[in-house]
Amino acid sequence: MLLEVNDIQVHYGKIAALKGVSLRVDAGEIVALIGANGAGKTTTLKTISGLRPLTSGRIHFDGNDISRMPGHLRVVAGIGQAPEGRGIFPGMSVQENLLMGSYAKKGARDSGLVEVYELFPRLAERRSQAGGTMSGGEQQMLAIGRALMAQPKVLLLDEPSMGLAPILVAQIFTIISEINRRGTTVLLVEQNASQALQLADRAYVLETGRVVKSAPASELLTDPEVQAAYLGGDLDTEMQMDGDRRIRP
Ligand SMILES: Nc1ncnc2c1ncn2[C@@H]1O[C@H](COP(=O)(O)OP(=O)(O)OP(=O)(O)O)[C@@H](O)[C@H]1O
Ligand SMILES: [Mg+2]
């Protein structure tokens, strides 16, 4: 097991955003975390990367208890994060943005650049261009590339497909799959549950700060409750076509 989150609670002031979340990610896996707005997906990732403190519970990574470890040391330990909303530096060039990613792990700098430019030829072409002038899809690639610069063992991705046109969404998912194929474990938060579940090995469903389901992704894809709540109500349509024999509680 690479990452184990054990019964964590996280508060914003008095409000509990996570009410005892547990999950695990094994080396080599792609694990998806899905759930509605406000369910606690971003909070879960931020707590794993050390951007939010936990109130109780434990996080183990690569054999060590990292529950109280500062965020920059978690980067060194092998936790990389591409944050929600990308968070790139608009006035800095693409390459300067990427180098910020190896700040905590300077030894990784040159090999990191080679690898990121290989994965994202577009970033190589635009290495001198200001980050803020890149398109939405390119900025997302830059955010992922920056997280890869420290050569993480696990990559935490928060809604990488947000705001992207369908063709770019497909590209981003292909790249995530390629990053995983090259050996990086991935924990993926997505509103785009259908695509996330098609890519992932396993998934967790988060509702108001709790895990309500966890299963192989292929099982969740055909789970009626998951379909109704997160997959655009495909099941409803199917059942209506089947003579409207829907049974509702
Ligand atoms: N900085 C903050 N201050 C106060 N409450 C917050 C803060 N950030 C998040 N919360 C609250 O914590 C809960 C979980 O938020 P979080 O951002 O983790 O959800 P999410 O699943 O990522 O949602 P989304 O799909 O909208 O990104 C929500 O109720 C949210 O309002
Ligand atoms: Mg979020």
The pLDDT assigned to 239 comes to 40
The pLDDT assigned to 158 comes to 94
Q: Is the dihedral of CA 161, 165, 168, 170 positive or negative?
A: positive
Chain segment 20-33, per-residue pLDDT in tens: 999 999 999 999 99
Cα 155 to Cα 27, 42, 158, 188, 197: the distances in Å are 11, 14, 10, 8, 17
For ligand 1, the distance from its centroid to the CA atom of residue 108, given in whole angstroms, is 33
For ligand 2, the distance from its centroid to the CA atom of residue 46, given in whole angstroms, is 10
Q: Compute how many other C-beta atoms are within 10 angstroms of the C-beta atom of residue 110.
A: 10
Nearest CA to ligand 1 atom 11: 17
Burial pattern 61-89, b for ≥16 Cβ within 10 A else e, equals: beeeebbebeeeebbebbbbbbbbebebe
Position 245 pLDDT exceeds 60: no
Q: Quick one: pLDDT band at residue 234, thresholds 50, 70, 90?
A: very low
Give yes or no for a contact between 84 and 120, defined as CB atoms under 8 angstroms apart.
Answer: no
Nearest CA to ligand 1 atom 24: 37
Position 135 pLDDT exceeds 50: yes
Position 241 pLDDT exceeds 80: no
Q: Quick one: pLDDT band at residue 136, thresholds 50, 70, 90?
A: confident
Chain segment 54-69, per-residue pLDDT in tens: 999 999 999 999 999 9
Position 247 pLDDT exceeds 80: no
Rounded to the nearest 10 degrees, how much is the dihedral formed by the CA atoms of 102, 105, 107, 111?
-40
pLDDT above 90 covers a percentage of the chain that reads 79
The pLDDT assigned to 244 comes to 37
For ligand 1, the distance from its centroid to the CA atom of residue 17, given in whole angstroms, is 7
Note the ligand closest to the C-alpha atom of 207.
1
Give Cβ neighbours of residue 128 (< 8 Å, ≥ 6 apart): 93, 94, 95
Please tell me the distance from the alpha carbon of residue 157 to that of residue 45, in angstroms, as a whole number.
8
Q: Which residue has the tokens 């184990």?
A: 4
Q: Quick one: pLDDT band at residue 74, thresholds 50, 70, 90?
A: very high
Out of 93-107, 152-166, 205-219, give the one with best mean pLDDT: 205-219
Q: Are strands 30-34 and 15-25 parallel, antiparallel or unpaired?
A: unpaired
Q: Are strands 3-12 and 15-25 parallel, antiparallel or unpaired?
A: antiparallel
Average pLDDT, whole number, for the chain?
Answer: 90
**What mean pLDDT comes out for the span 150-172?**
92
The pLDDT assigned to 233 comes to 57
Model's pTM, two decimal places? 0.91
- Tokens at residue 159, please? 């809604």
- Residue predicted with more confidence, 51 or 102: 51
Q: Residue 232 in 3-state DSSP?
A: coil
**What mean pLDDT comes out for the span 160-164?**
89
The pLDDT assigned to 85 comes to 67
Q: Is the dihedral of CA 22, 58, 40, 231 positive or negative?
A: negative
Position 249 pLDDT exceeds 60: no
Return the minimum-mean-pLDDT range out of 92-96, 98-102, 218-222, 244-248.
Answer: 244-248
As for ligand 1, residues whose beta carbon falls within 6 Å of it are 12, 15, 17, 35, 37-43, 191
Position 185 pLDDT exceeds 80: yes
**What mean pLDDT comes out for the span 123-132?**
96
